[in-house]
Amino acid sequence: MIAEVVKEFEAIKTEIEKSFGPLSSDQMNWRPNAEGWSVAQCLEHLILTKTLFFKDLDDLQAKGRKNSWWEEWSPLTPLFTKMYFRYIRSETAKVKAPTSKIVPPSTVTADILNRFMKNQDQLIAKLSRLGDSGIAGVVVSSPFIPLVTYKLIDGIRLISEHDWRHIRQAKRVMVAEGFPK
C-alpha cells in the first residue's frame, strides 16, 4: 500500500518539475482572472493542505496517536471516502477551500518549486517510515471537517488525487488566453 502511494508521490514530483520547472516567476504568479489561482498558488495550496496531515503521521510514528471514539465507530467512514473520491476526481465540482489555512496568498515567492519538492519529500519520508503496518486500522478525521472520517490509507490516496487535480488546474492556467510567453 505505502509503496504504491510513495511511487505516486514521486510521479507527482516528476510531473511538477517537468511541467512547471521551466516557468519564470511572472509565469508562475500569472492569474487568468481575479478569482482564478496561478500555477504558484496551486502549488502553495498543495503544500498547505499536505502539511495539515503531518501531525497525524508524526503521532503515528511516535506511537502516540489513537483513533478517537468517533473515528473508531463512525458508520459513515465508507460514505465519506466514496464522496470525497467522487468530488476530487471531478473536473466540474468547484468548492471553495474549507478553511483559510489552505488558501494561498495572492503572490507566491519564487522558491515555490523548491518548497513543493521539499514538502513532497517530507511526506514521502513520513509515509516510508510508517510502512503498511503503521497505518493498518488507522482512521482519521478530516482536518477540515472533524465529523468526516476515513481510513488513513484512503486519506493518503485522496492527497495524491488532490495533487493531480491541482496539477491539471495549473496546466489549464498555462494554456489560458493571456498567459505570458
Domain boundaries along the sequence of the chain:
2-174
Name residues whose C-beta falls within 8 Å of residue 70's C-beta, 6 or more positions apart in sequence: 141, 146, 147, 149
Please report which confidence band the pLDDT of residue 136 belongs to, taking 50, 70 and 90 as the band edges.
Answer: confident
Count Cβ atoms below 10 Å from residue 170 Cβ, excluding itself.
Answer: 23
β-bridge mates for residue 62, sequence order: none
With contact defined as beta carbons under 8 Å apart, do 46 and 104 qualify? no
pLDDT, residue 87, reads: 76
Q: Residue 98 pLDDT > 70, yes or no?
A: no
Measure CA 165 to chain center: 9
Separation CA 151–CA 36 (nearest Å): 32
Q: How far apart are the C-alpha atoms of 29 and 45, rounded to whole Å?
A: 13
Burial of 171 per CB tally in 10 Å (0-12, 13-18, 19+)? middle
Q: What's the confidence (pLDDT) of residue 131?
A: 84
In the chain, % of residues over pLDDT 90: 52
Average pLDDT, the chain: 90
Residue 90 has pLDDT above 80, yes or no: no
CATH topology for the 2-174 domain: Four Helix Bundle (Hemerythrin (Met), subunit A) (1.20.120)
Lowest mean pLDDT segment, chosen from 64-68, 135-139, 165-169, 171-175 = 64-68
d(CA 1, CA 4): 5
